[in-house]
A and B are shown apart, each in its own frame.
Chain A
Amino acid sequence: MTASAVLFYLFGALALGSAIAMVLNVRNTVAAALSLVVTMIALAGVFVLLDAFLVGAIQIMVYAGAIVVLFLFVVMLLNLRTDLFPPGRSFLPKVLGVVAALCLLALLVPRIGAHLPAPALLPEGFGGFRTVGLALFTRYLLPLEVASLLLLAAIVGAVVLAKRRID
């Protein structure tokens, strides 16, 4: 196994492990959010090892560096403490959850396996900011603009809601 393959599986295991840690830490909100950060960083590592440099950098910049910091900001502002959440009473929902997850896995895995493309050489500049930027601003211009319009609407909505509270 090459060094990058070893790193790939290490980052993958780290992403999965910290994702599970996030779910298990559900009563300690800050610890859960920090586990989410580790997941994001490990995912960025996986992306970079797959030559998707731009996605990897954005994964850290946007998700780990901004969105989860905002999560933490809100969690700390509300000062959610562990004792606010009562311990889970029933065992049944957990078992049902695990069974449902396993069913989903059983459904998905054969389908994904059947649709994997044959291995091929990467095209020139794959995953770089040039290729992605060109694709975004030529072929996918309309979806991009629609998405930005959606974000703008969300921002305006947030301002309206916040302003009503102040007035």
Chain B
Amino acid sequence: MPPLDVIVKTLFIILVVMAGFLPIITWVERKQSAVMQDRIGANRADIGGIAALGLLHPAADVLKLLTKEDFVPAGANRVMHLLAPVIALVPAIITLAVVPFGGRYQFGDTTLNLVVADVDWGMLYVFAVGSLAAYGTVMAGWSSNNNWSLLGSLRGSAQMISYEVTMGLSIVSLFMIYETLRLTDMAVYQDATFRVFGFLEHLGLVKDIGWLGVLQLPRWGIFLQPLAFFLFLTCVMAENKRPPFDVPEGESEIIAGYHMEYSGMRFGLFYTAEFLEVPVIGTIVATLFLGGWSIPFLPQALLIRGLTHFGGVGFATGLTMILHVLTFFLKVIFMIWLQMQIRWTLPRFRYDQVMDLCWKIMLPLSIANIFVTAIGLLVVDGVAR
């Protein structure tokens, strides 16, 4: 049996993401698209005349999907057809194991570390698990015994392999700055500020930057590596296979692509996997680039010291912990909003455009970013010595 705190943390993160974010996201998807397209949006599902702004639609969805016939087409490979949706869903859930939703807190003798598995190779785990997501798509398309499905899964596997390469390379530059692959340490690193013009001092160009030292930014990945942020976000959105990267589904070309022969809750599982990846991407991007749980300009030690004036150390630490967890999920909500905004703004790319974007633009850019960052770090190191 794992220790109690691990079970509690696992339940917490899974409940927040799967029972909290997931139903709300399907509602947000409908309502945000309605706002952007000047419609009213879903508002018909009601209990006794109370529609609650369409918030009951997720429940109606689940009821409908569960009661529909679960159909397996003739000539399909039964076992793989039944397994594929599950395999599509699992990677998204288990990625959450290494995501820190809060920092480390000292309560007397016990340390509370708000992450399920604090492993040294955290980011490698994320990449490894993410690379398995392609199998759901591949198996679904192949086992359906349908040429459109097969085309969809061919497109899906090519797209996912290509973007995995760029995804890995795009944040190598970030690892060189953080000097770690452990996600908790990355969040701790970002819980600080840096002077925007401080590099002039480091390089010895100016002896003292004087009043310019007032200009400070949180030491977040997005400020240190803005290019990496855009590259990584594009890659994870392509891995997610939602528009504008939904060529594996492409309903105007190949009907519904890899999950065309699925009905009922098995289709619902593919749908869930795609929607679940949105908050999971949000947690990863927030941890890598937006400082994770850290509150800008208020480092953990400072916050606890300040709050101690209003109560004991235990009270201050507990309140800090709650504020950090709330900050983290606020950043995740921001990332969900951003992904929704992109999804409803851009039309679907053509398949060759998706591949060209990856191999001809983003891959060279991410390799160039690694080189420039490495040279920058070497120069700063050399001058400091």
Contact = CB atoms under 8 A, between A and B. Distances in A.
Interface of A: 30, 34, 37, 41, 44, 53-54, 57-58, 60-61, 64-66, 69-70, 72-73, 76-77, 79, 128-129
B97 interface: no
Nearest to B168: A61
B257 to A, nearest CB: 14
20 contacts: A41-B132, A53-B120, A53-B121, A54-B121, A54-B124, A57-B127, A60-B128, A60-B129, A60-B132, A61-B127, A64-B132, A65-B131, A69-B138, A72-B138, A73-B138, A73-B158, A76-B142, A128-B120, A128-B121, A129-B121
Nearest to A57: B124
Interface string B146-164: 0000100110011011001
A54 B125 CA distance: 10
Contacts of A76: 138, 141-142, 150, 153-154
Interface in B143-185: 150, 153-154, 157-158, 160-161, 164, 168, 181
Contacts of A58: 124
A114 to B, nearest CB: 34
Contacts of B124: 53-54, 57-58, 61, 129
A85 B131 CA distance: 31
Given A61-B127, A128-B121, 9 more contacts: A34-B80, A44-B128, A53-B119, A53-B121, A58-B124, A69-B160, A73-B161, A76-B141, A129-B124
Contacts of B349: none
Given A57-B127, A65-B131, A73 B154 contact: yes
B161 A70 contact: yes
Interface of B: 80, 119-121, 124-125, 127-132, 134-135, 138-139, 141-142, 150, 153-154, 157-158, 160-161, 164, 168, 181
Nearest to B133: A65
B269 to A, nearest CB: 19
Instruction: Sort A-B residue pairs by CB-CB distance and give the 8 closest, nearest first.
Output: A65-B131, A57-B124, A60-B128, A53-B121, A57-B128, A61-B128, A73-B157, A69-B134
Contacts of B164: 61, 65-66
Identify the interface centre among B129, B131, B164: most chain A CB within 10 Å of its CB.
Answer: B131
Contacts of A129: 120-121, 124, 181
A77 B141 CA distance: 12
B179 to A, nearest CB: 10
B121 A65 contact: no
B125 A69 contact: no
Nearest to B135: A37
Nearest to B119: A53
Contact of B125 (A30, A41, A57, A64): A57
Contacts of B154: 73, 76-77
B126 to A, nearest CB: 10
Nearest to B124: A57
A54 B141 CA distance: 32
B131 A64 contact: yes
Nearest to A62: B131
A58 B80 CA distance: 26
Given A64-B131, A64-B132, A69 B157 contact: yes
Contacts of B120: 53, 128-129
Contacts of B181: 129
Contacts of B130: 65
Nearest to A59: B128
Contacts of A69: 134-135, 138, 157, 160-161
Contacts of A77: 154
Contacts of A54: 121, 124
A136 to B, nearest CB: 15
A111 B41 CA distance: 72
Contacts of B141: 76
Nearest to B127: A61
Given A37-B135, A57-B121, A73-B154, A66 B161 contact: yes
Contacts of A41: 132
A79 B141 CA distance: 12
Identify the interface centre among B135, B139, B158: most chain A CB within 10 Å of its CB.
Answer: B135
A65 B139 contact: no
Given A66-B164, A69-B138, A60 B131 contact: yes
A66 B129 CA distance: 12
B153 to A, nearest CB: 7
Contacts of B150: 76, 79
Contacts of A44: 128
A112 B170 CA distance: 42
Contacts of A61: 124, 127-128, 131, 164, 168
B34 to A, nearest CB: 37
Given A57-B121, A57-B127, A65 B157 contact: no
Given A53-B120, A57-B125, A66 B131 contact: yes
A65 B153 CA distance: 15
Given A37-B135, A66-B164, A128-B121, A72 B128 contact: no
